[in-house]
Amino acid sequence: MTAEPTPEEAKQLFHVEESDLGKRLDAFLAIQLPQASRVRIQRGIADGLVKVDGQSRKPSYKLRTGQTIEFQLPSPPSEGPQPEPIPLDLLYEDEILAVVNKPPGMIVHPAKGHWSGTLASALVYHFQQLSQFGGPTRPGIVHRLDRDTSGAIVIAKTDEAHAHLAEQFQARTVRKEYLSIVMGCPDRDRDLIDFPIGDHPSQRERKALRSDHFSSREAQTFYEVEERFKGMALLRAFPKTGRTHQIRLHFTHIRCPVLCDKIYGGRSQLTAGELRTWCRNKTAACGSADNTILLSRQALHAHRLCFTHPTSGEELEITAPIPADLESLLLILRQIPTSG
């Protein structure tokens, strides 16, 4: 192997020699760049900063003799997320905690391939003090919401408040209420979905309903039908447990997947033409072209949180208004006759 520095200080070129044949890309770079941590190397690969003969490759890619690897080493990660001037919609704030209305499309904390634009970066920018109870990469974050789920999320400013709030979530005394537009209409106006959830056997980004107690955890979601539409419904969900993807999986289990859930619902967006076909109504979304996008994220919103204030003992009830994209779709659905 030979290395040639480029004009950029952090960029290097590596030539794969015969002794490197068959090595994994990430393992090769870990040997050649002892000053860089494995996490830093993997971050560079995930962010597309590594090119093998000009093309991005996976960490597991096996090298061939004569290939050229170009690596733009990413900046060393700081102890925590970098502050970014991202606007925050504050629903509640006092000296020890806050409740934020998270917009859809925002990741809560930094993760592989997503180092900026997170809620954590916005929090560091806006608040002088945040708890470190969850570690340096999750300042103030007591619980989480999926990237494309909007709504209320609690933020702790002190470690004491964080510990108290975390205990409430652990004890299941926090009352969580979600609103969701689903495809199809449940048979019952209200019901309890009780089915364990575990890891998917082959797909890391998915969870699965599993009855084997060795690899699953109990999961319970109570729901009520708020409104019925032609071919769809608005549901209120009250999760009793807090498993990853719980509401999305449970609604799929009753054959009413969350609308525009690209993982469990089979579609990532809804156009006016698709709505007309699904509802069997040619006048639905009147005035919109068939290719007009009505929704482009999962129709799930963390509408309300009820919990005990860590110091005052007051029962707080914080509500996040229905976001504009879901409200607009609801207005359209309400105009479609449910019969005929």
> End-to-end alpha-carbon separation of the chain, Å?
72
Q: Are strands 270-271 and 232-239 parallel, antiparallel or unpaired?
A: unpaired
Residue with tokens 């859930």: 261
Strand partners, 238: 222
Task: Tell me the three state secondary structure of residue 8.
Answer: coil
Strand partners, 136: none
- Tally of residues, the chain: 340
Q: At CB < 8 A and 24+ separation, what contacts does 322-325 make?
A: 322/179, 323/103, 323/104, 323/150, 325/104, 325/295, 325/296, 325/297
The number of angstroms, rounded, from the C-alpha of 281 to the middle of its chain's C-alpha atoms is 33
Q: Kindly state the tokens that stand for 175.
A: 């009352």
Note if 146 is an active site residue. yes
Strand partners, 69: 14, 52
Q: In what order do the strands lie in the sheet with 197-199?
A: 207-209, 197-199, 216-217
CA distance 101 to 124: 16
CA distance 223 to 244: 17
> Which of these is catalytic: 20, 26, 89, 146?
146
Number of Cβ within a 10 Å radius of residue 240: 16
The number of angstroms, rounded, from the C-alpha of 285 to the middle of its chain's C-alpha atoms is 29
Number of Cβ within a 10 Å radius of residue 64: 13
Which residues are designated catalytic? 146
